[in-house]
A = this chain, B = another copy of it.
Amino acid sequence: MNVNFAERAHNHNWRLDPIVRSLLDTDFYKLLMLQFIWKNFPATQVTSTVLNRTTSVRLADHVPVESLIAQMEYVRGLRFRRSELVWLAGNTFYGTRFIFEPDFLLWLENDFRLSEYVVTESDGQLHITFTGLWTEVTMWEVYALALVSEMRTRSALARLSELELDVLYARAKTRLWDKIEKLRVVPEVRISEFGTRRRHSFLWQEYVVEAMRKTLGASLTGSSNTFLAYKHDLEAIGTNAHELPMALAALASKGTDDELRASQYRVLELWARSYGGELLVMLPDTFGSTQFLAGAPDWVADWTGQRADSKDPFVAGDEYCAWLTSRGRDARKKRFIASDGLDVDEIIDLHHYFHGRIRFSAGWGTLLTNDFRDCHPRNEHDLEPISLVCKLITVDGIPAVKLSDNANKSTGPADLVARYRRVFGSESVEGPPVLV
C-alpha cells in the first residue's frame, strides 16, 4: 500500500550520489579570494595539494581513487546557476550590496573553470595535486576536502547495518543537542559555522546548521558555506585565508628580505582596494602573529578585526587587545575571531573571557560538523575527524611557505622555511598536536 515504487527503484539506480551539489557549496571566503585573484593575479600559475596530517589513517584504503575522480569530474561539470549568480549579485553581504563586480560575475558565469589535477595513491595515502591558473586551482581546496571527507564517511557507513546507522545518528544528534543546550543559556555568544571542508557529510552539515538556526537565534551569526547561506537565508561568513599571504610571499621571495617581509602587509593593501568594513579581518599568523603585529604599519590597526587560527586564542586575543591599545585604538570596537579546532566549552570560555573587551566570535568548524567521536555503534574510530588540508605548493614555480604560530602547521621545503624563519623570526613553537 505504502510503497513508493519510483523511489525504491531509484534508490538502487543511482550512478553517482554527488557530494558537492553546487559550486556555491564552498566557503564564502573562497569567492572573495577568487575575485581578489581574478582582479590582481589573473595570470599567476600555482600548484596545490591535499595533505592528510593524520597519517595514522590510511585514507586511500577508504577512498578509492576512481570514485574520487568520478566525484571530482562531477564538480568540474557544474556551472554557477542563474539564480545563484543573481543572488551573488543582489544579496547583501556583511551589510554591503554589490560586493561582487559585474565583470567578475560575468566571468564566473562564462569563463570560470576548475583546473586539471592528478590523483595517485601510495603507502595508503592519496596524493591529489592541482595545477593551473590560480583562478582555476584555488576553488578546488574546499570541494576536494569536502569530497575526501565525505567519501571517508561513506566508506565507514557502508560497514554498518540499518540499526547501527540509526544509533550512530541518534548519538550524534544527542551530542549536537547537548552542545546547543549549553549555548542557549549564553545568549550573547556569537558563532559562525565554519565546518564545510571537514564535514561528516553535506546533509549532516545542513542538519547541524538548520538545528542551530532554529534554536540559537542571534547567537548563530551565519555560515561560511555559501550554498547553505543561499538556501537558508543565512549570512555568508568569512574573509580570507593563508593562501593569499603565502602566494604573495612566494612571489616576493625572488626579491630582498625586506620585500619578503613587506609582502604580508601588501596582501592587506590589495584586499582593502576591493573590500571594506567587516571584510577587513586580517589573519596575522601565516608567518607568526607577534612579528606581524609588531612590524605592521599603523593603518593595519584601522582594520576591523583579526582571526586567530593557530595560536592559543586566549593568548592571541590578549595580544591583539594589547596591540590595539598600544596603537591607540579601542579594542571594544574591534572583532576577534577564533577558528582553530574549537568545541563548545572553549567557545563559551572564550566568550566570557573576551566579552566586554572586544567583539568576540567563534568560527566553529570540524567539531561542529563532524563530531562523531564515541558515536560509533561498535566503538570503532573511522568516523572520527582527521586533519585534512589543501595547501599551496608553488606560485609561478616558486615554493610557498607557511610558518604558522603552531610549528605542527608549518609547510614548505626546509631550506625555504629556514630563510623565512630568518626573515620573520622563529616565534612559531611546537603547539598542541593538530587534531582537526
Interface residues of A (CB under 8 A from B): 2, 4, 7, 161, 163, 166-167, 169-174, 177, 210-211, 214-215, 377
Contact = CB atoms under 8 A, between A and B. Distances in A.
- Give the interface SS of chain A, mostly helix, strand, loop or mixed: helix
Q: How many copies does the complex hold?
A: 2
A214 B161 CA distance: 10
A163 B211 contact: yes
A332 B430 CA distance: 64
The 9 closest A-B CB pairs, nearest first, are A170-B173, A170-B170, A174-B174, A4-B4, A167-B177, A171-B174, A170-B174, A163-B214, A163-B211
A170 B172 CA distance: 8
A163 B213 CA distance: 11
A169 B174 CA distance: 9
A210 B163 contact: yes
B171 A177 contact: yes
Nearest to A169: B170
A158 to B, nearest CB: 18
A385 to B, nearest CB: 20
Contacts of A171: 170, 173-174, 177
A167 B161 contact: no
23 contacts: A2-B7, A4-B4, A4-B7, A163-B211, A163-B214, A163-B215, A166-B173, A167-B173, A167-B174, A167-B177, A167-B211, A169-B170, A170-B170, A170-B171, A170-B172, A170-B173, A170-B174, A170-B177, A171-B173, A171-B174, A171-B177, A174-B174, A177-B377
